[in-house]
Structure 1
Amino acid sequence: MSQPSSSGAAIRFDAVEKAFDAPGRRRVVALQDVTLDVAAGDICGIIGRSGAGKSTLLRMVNGLEVPTSGTITVDGRDVGRAKGAELRSIRRDVGMIFQHFNLLSSRTVYGNIALPLEIAGIPASQIRPRALDLIARVGLEEQANRYPAELSGGQKQRVGIARALATQPKVLLSDEATSALDPETTQTVLALLRDINRDLGLTILLITHEMAVVRDIASHMAVIDGGRIVEAGPTYDVFVQPKHPTTRSFLSGVTGITLPAFISDRLQATRPDCASEEVIRVTFAGNHATDPMLASLTAEMGVGVNILAGAIEEIGTRPFGNLLISVDAAKGAEARSYLERHGLLTEVLGYVR
């Protein structure tokens, strides 16, 4: 599956394939027919399980991996074909932050942030104010002269972010940047990335296996499975109407909306002949996310509703909720029709006696 192209793409993957030669002359295909646009100024999250191909995808954006076929362009420049000075120029426009920070233990916070500027040949008179400005941006003024061993995980990641911004890139890549952090520190780092995206207009492409990270920061997302993009689009739309089983699996983990065992163990795909209950997923989106529609269903239609599980989430500033309910199977179609007429989404999960 691909996301439609747009002329404002900062990063574009066009029919990308990546294969590796494994031992025993076996060919391993890591990515297949990946077509995806990341619009300038967006935060795009790529989510997938370990081995899905997301790290390979990310590494091709700054030329650390070259596609076997297809093209990757950054700001209109073909990364796979770039060599020498052109590739170095692209890499200066692409900052990267890492899961395990990758800081030099022998350098202070200031020294780590100044390093990319030194490598780029920036005059020393320009390096100091630039580095100090970045230290202030990530809130580490008091730690400027400390070494990595003296920093917490969150502080180390802030150094990594500041270092990635040193060359004033147009694109920022995040390689599982919050996976090694506790939940509270993760939220702090995500808030910093949101601020950077807003203040600098920076395009951010992040990979993760945590749906909560995508929910909390990404304007757009793509789900990768077996080296293919199986679903992509605005984050809100994907959360509200997931189409692929892999997406639904990730969503069940982040929302906690799963059927109780005493229901799931008895769930049948087809309606039995005897008296039964229809199990329905109801999605409340947008303006209807907090409407008391189930109470209205009972009051107006006389349909009794059993609530099995539920939660209300927020994507950006837009709320949405998921409820798992059961109703008399004989009234299931009537109940779903009523809910859908009032702007809700419904899905039959099965039947129980």
Structure 2
Amino acid sequence: MQRDSTTGAAIAFEGVGKSFTSKGRTVTALEGVDLAVAPGAITGIIGRSGAGKSTLLRMVNGLERPSAGRVTVGGRDVGTARGATLREIRRDVGMIFQHFNLLSSRTVLGNVALPLEIAGVPAAETARRAKDLVERVGLETLADRYPAELSGGQKQRVGIARALATGPKVLLSDEATSALDPETTQTVLRLLADINRDLGLTILMITHEMAVLRDIASHVAVIEGGRIVEEGATYDIFTRPAHPTTRSFLAGVTGVTLPQFIAARMQLDPPAGPSREVIRITFLGANATDPLLAEMSAALGLEVNILAGAIEEIGAQPFGNLLISVAAERGPEARHYLDTRGQRTEVLGYVG
């Protein structure tokens, strides 16, 4: 796909603002948004309802136009495009929706063929391409079924196939998995990852669920109150969140909870008498799977109590959280040992 000549991005938001006026009242939906979406990448924009993410997404295909700044797709300014230029941009931008938006009167094959028919593609070519796309999303045995006969995941697969019909270079995903159960969500996400890999499509997806982005997004931007408050590589955002909004989104995804019987006894300051320091260790990078606790215990002669923990992959890189306790007077020594080996530590409190 052609890149923006100044940013090198497939999609670029440059100082984008958007305001709506209703009944004499002006509401600012977006303000000063700068974001570059790399060609061939899967980029996720996460935010709460009303944060502005849907408005931002709709600017990519011209359904909304910026009040300030500009949005470019392949170097073409979407906000100023009209007529044939806008239609050309829209052919390069496919979109999948949260609620599928399928025509109930058309079969799976008929829904996929619709964009081609509208574009005036000859009937024989339309039939061939629609059939190929239905097979790509694994629905060839259901090609003659109607939407009412399909599950939610199957409907979303039809929506994905339809979005690919015109051969787009960019695919937009508008909360495409939020109406699906967790297992079906993973199936749809794997399909999107396969499409990204096989076709080299640039995918821009919006969601309010961090777990949706964990496995397939290469880049994440966090939007709050119409502004991008944090962005970066997915692994960096998940393992080193800087903004409170990001940390709140991640709390249920990468957080490890203390057992209640320990949490109930925790104090911010060391109590009188013998006590133990409770430490959160964030394991990062190449050392994340090393036996660091065993090595530390042996090197320092330190008794370590493991309270809770989990390790997972983010973008094929290991990441883990572990909660431990050590004798309070040995806490600084333990943290220094781990810090010098590239792990992040945080004192959560003390228990007597």
Query: Do the aligned residues in 2 keep the contact of 1:252 with 1:258 (CA within 8 Å)?
Result: no
State the partner residue of 1:129: 128
Structure 1 residue 188: Cα displacement: 1.0
State the partner residue of 1:155: 154
Note closer, same or farther for the CA distance 1:123–1:15 as it changes in structure 2 (3 Å cut).
Answer: same
Note closer, same or farther for the CA distance 1:287–1:65 as it changes in structure 2 (3 Å cut).
Answer: same
Note closer, same or farther for the CA distance 1:107–1:56 as it changes in structure 2 (3 Å cut).
Answer: same
Unaligned 5+ residue runs, structure 2?
none
1:29 is paired with a residue whose SS is strand
Could you tell me how far apart the structure 1 residues matched to 2:211 and 2:189 are? 11
1:133 is paired with a residue whose SS is helix
Could you tell me how far apart the structure 2 residues matched to 1:136 and 1:294 are? 50
State the partner residue of 1:11: 11
Query: Do the aligned residues in 2 keep the contact of 1:6 with 1:39 (CA within 8 Å)?
Result: no
State the partner residue of 2:314: 315
Structure 1 residue 161: Cα displacement: 0.2
Note closer, same or farther for the CA distance 1:37–1:266 as it changes in structure 2 (3 Å cut).
Answer: farther
2:215 is paired with a residue whose SS is helix
Could you tell me how far apart the structure 1 residues matched to 2:103 and 2:147 are? 8
Alignment of 1:1-353 (within 5 A): 7-23=7-23, 25-264=24-263, 271-272=269-270, 274-275=272-273, 276-352=275-351
Unaligned 5+ residue runs, structure 1?
none
Query: Do the aligned residues in 1 keep the contact of 2:283 with 2:320 (CA within 8 Å)?
Result: yes
Query: Do the aligned residues in 1 keep the contact of 2:234 with 2:315 (CA within 8 Å)?
Result: no
Note closer, same or farther for the CA distance 1:76–1:339 as it changes in structure 2 (3 Å cut).
Answer: same
Question: Which stretch shifts more, 294-303 or 156-165?
Answer: 294-303
Could you tell me how far apart the structure 2 residues matched to 1:336 and 1:272 are? 16
RMSD (Å) for aligned C-alpha atoms: 1.9
Structure 1 residue 338: Cα displacement: 0.5
Structure 1 residue 350: Cα displacement: 4.1
Query: Do the aligned residues in 1 keep the contact of 2:42 with 2:218 (CA within 8 Å)?
Result: yes
TM-score using structure 1 length = 0.92
Structure 1 residue 84: Cα displacement: 1.4
Note closer, same or farther for the CA distance 1:51–1:298 as it changes in structure 2 (3 Å cut).
Answer: same
Could you tell me how far apart the structure 2 residues matched to 1:75 and 1:253 are? 36
Question: Which stretch shifts more, 150-159 or 45-54?
Answer: 45-54
Identity, % of aligned pairs? 73
Note closer, same or farther for the CA distance 1:59–1:264 as it changes in structure 2 (3 Å cut).
Answer: farther
> How many positions carry a matched residue from both structures?
347
Q: Which digits, 9 at most, give the CA deviation of each residue in 1:94-141, with x for residues without a partner?
A: 100001100000111111111111111112121111111101111111
Structure 1 residue 260: Cα displacement: 3.7
Note closer, same or farther for the CA distance 1:178–1:281 as it changes in structure 2 (3 Å cut).
Answer: same
Structure 1 residue 332: Cα displacement: 2.4
Structure 1 residue 344: Cα displacement: 1.2
Could you tell me how far apart the structure 2 residues matched to 1:273 and 1:261 are? 19
Structure 1 residue 266: Cα displacement: 5.7
Could you tell me how far apart the structure 2 residues matched to 1:32 and 1:304 are? 52
1:166 is paired with a residue whose SS is coil
Could you tell me how far apart the structure 2 residues matched to 1:91 and 1:350 are? 54
The AA in structure 2 aligned to 1:18 is K
